[in-house]
Amino acid sequence: MNRTYLGILLAGVALATVPWLGVPTFYESILYLVCHWAILALSWNILSGYSGYFSFGHGAFFGIGMYTTAVFAGKLNWPFLATLPLAALLPALLALGLGFVVFRVRAVRGELFALLTLAVTFVVATIILNTPVDGGPGVYLNAVDVPRIGPTASSSIYLMVLATAVVTLLVSYAVQASRLGVGLFAIHDDEDVAEVMGVPTLGYKLAAYALSCALAGVAGGIHALFVSYVTAGETFNITVPLTVVLMSVLGGTRHWAGPAIGAAAITGLLYFFTAGDHAVAGKAAVGAVLVVVILFLPDGLLGFWLRRRARQLAATPIPQPPDSAPAPAAPPQAPAVHTGQPLLEVRQLSKAFRGVQALDRVTLQVRQGEILGLLGPNGSGKSTFINVVSGHYPLSGGEIVFGGQSLTGAPPHRVARAGIARTYQIPRPFQHLSVLQNVALPAMFGGAALDQRGAEREAWKWLEFTGLQARAHALPEDLNLHQRKFLELARALASRPRLVLLDEVLSGLTPAEIDGAIDLIRRIQAQGSTIVFVEHVMRAVMALTDRIVVLNHGKLIAQGLANDVMQDSGVVSAYLGKPAHA
């Protein structure tokens, strides 16, 4: 068994002995509150901490769980344990319905998502308060039988919340260690790039949201039994989500155990400082401690430790990949010969931005094994072409066919899995992932579709290919521009693409670095990849390309062999400037 799983289970078993140790009931209540807040903070973190979709609406789903148990157990006399599956299911269904609408709207991110989820809390509270679910007086659970799994009723409730906290910790760790966790972390750093790398962002966000809210609902169901009287005013109080956010941020949102550490720390601080005769001063002291921690440890307690560990790991020399098994060879690929067969066909491709025609009925082919140069002055539509073909932008009209299959209107992750990879003109690495993790991600989610271990081995191969193996454990912020450009290349290649879209990979490099990059691109072609090469460095264009197409104002104005196109009068006028006359 995984040592982390075993450690969590052993800690749970140890805490489960408390009711039989003769500990005063007060301390048992403190442990209950630690577990209760840990569940809420950990479940919040599965969506908001991992993916970056900051929610102020967690209290709504917690409240739905409370009222589900209150109504079915308190009013309809269901057995308490029978209400818990419903307390998980109803919040999860609401999360799926809400997420399916909201997550599809690109503009609803960041603070807009936070405000929307806060509004959901008020809507749910209003509905419950003004319907027979509550109606105003609240719901009593005094007559509900508590399942006796401990020596007393209160200890039985404690053991139930402890078991739920242990399960939530296990789920939090399992999510972070899985493909889902890797995808959520990528969404956190740059959702658009994650989708282009092959991450099914909508599905992953929905899964995280539903899981997060289901766990919050279970916590609510148990808490309804603990308080024995449920009211809308207390249940949907704004302090609930604010406390959850504070605990998660204090502990560290990028570590699976961080929110639990934050929950234990804040609950303990509140007891220590407010248990005596100076409760008001104690609360002020707790606030001061939290302000100091947030100012000096903005990544949280475990976040600080993670960043320090990453720095130490990055400074450690890396003689070879840590896995002694040989890296798997890339699947057999056709040699880079020009078969003349079209790999990519775009027909009448158009893209408009609020009336501005960035691409105007562009039709072209990219042939198997060639390097096609895509030229044009600034604003001619080159990067827009890359963005449309990769799925980053939806097209306004036309058709895209790749390998004989239509990709017209396909989402970016499906384009990536079909075998198209790209780089970005301005490098866009995932800032909180190491160089190795950045390269492993497209190997997992792109055309290669490897498991995590295989993706890491694949990443080592491409880091060595691009000369970045010594920086494998560094964070992207520690790389220079040349290294970031090559990181873009390594990420694109790790997915084992059939077509690579290179968007100005040479811009900003020194002449010596450009020479090295030219050699690298030749080696990429020799691996069997077809390349679309967008570049302004003309000596690289002339040295590498087999054919050239030229765009101007979104229209294709010339295509053919490099020497022929560069002598075309229209190209000279549009791209190089009009020739001077004596």
Cα angle value 462/464/469 (rounded, 5°): 110
- Say yes or no: 87 and 231 in one domain: yes
Domain boundary among 238, 261, 293: 238
Query: Backbone phi, then psi, for 78, in 5-degree steps?
Result: -70, 155
Query: Backbone phi, then psi, for 102, in 5-degree steps?
Result: -70, -40
- Say yes or no: 87 and 222 in one domain: yes
Q: Give the model's pLDDT for residue 285.
A: 76
| Predicted confidence (pLDDT) per residue in 227-280, tens digit | 999 999 999 999 899 999 999 999 999 899 999 999 999 998 888 777 666 677
| Predicted confidence (pLDDT) per residue in 278-299, tens digit | 677 777 877 787 788 778 877 8
- Say yes or no: 234 and 105 in one domain: yes
Domain boundary among 238, 264, 298: 238
Total domain count for the chain?
2
Whether residue 286 lies inside any domain: the answer is: no
Q: Is the pLDDT of residue 302 over 90?
A: no
- Say yes or no: 56 and 197 in one domain: yes
In 3D, which of 550, 468, 540 has the Cα closest to residue 507? 540
Q: Is the pLDDT of residue 580 over 70?
A: no
In this structure, are residues 350 and 398 in contact, taking their beta carbons and an 8 Å threshold? yes
Task: Find tokens 């404690």 and name the residue.
Answer: 158
Whether residue 304 lies inside any domain: the answer is: no
- Say yes or no: 229 and 368 in one domain: no
Averaged pLDDT, 51-64: 95
- Say yes or no: 359 and 220 in one domain: no
Whether residue 410 lies inside any domain: the answer is: yes
- Say yes or no: 228 and 377 in one domain: no
Whether residue 570 lies inside any domain: the answer is: yes
DSSP string for residues in 127-170: HHHTSTTT-SS-EE-TTSPPP-SSSSHHHHHHHHHHHHHHHHHH
- Secondary structure class of 402 (helix, strand, coil): strand
User: Considering the chain, what is the average pLDDT of its residues?
Assistant: 90
Whether residue 247 lies inside any domain: the answer is: no
Range of the domain at 571: 342-576
Residues listed for the chain: 582
Domain boundary among 179, 205, 238: 238
Whether residue 331 lies inside any domain: the answer is: no
Alpha carbon distance 317, 328 (integer Å): 23
First to last CA, the chain: 82
Whether residue 265 lies inside any domain: the answer is: no
Position 337 confidence tier, pLDDT thresholds 50, 70, 90: low
In 3D, which of 169, 350, 381, 162 has the Cα closest to residue 261? 169
Whether residue 81 lies inside any domain: the answer is: yes
Q: Domain holding 368: CATH number?
A: 3.40.50.300
Query: Backbone phi, then psi, for 97, in 5-degree steps?
Result: -65, -45
In this structure, are residues 250 and 301 in contact, taking their beta carbons and an 8 Å threshold? yes
In 3D, which of 31, 6, 3 has the Cα closest to residue 17? 31
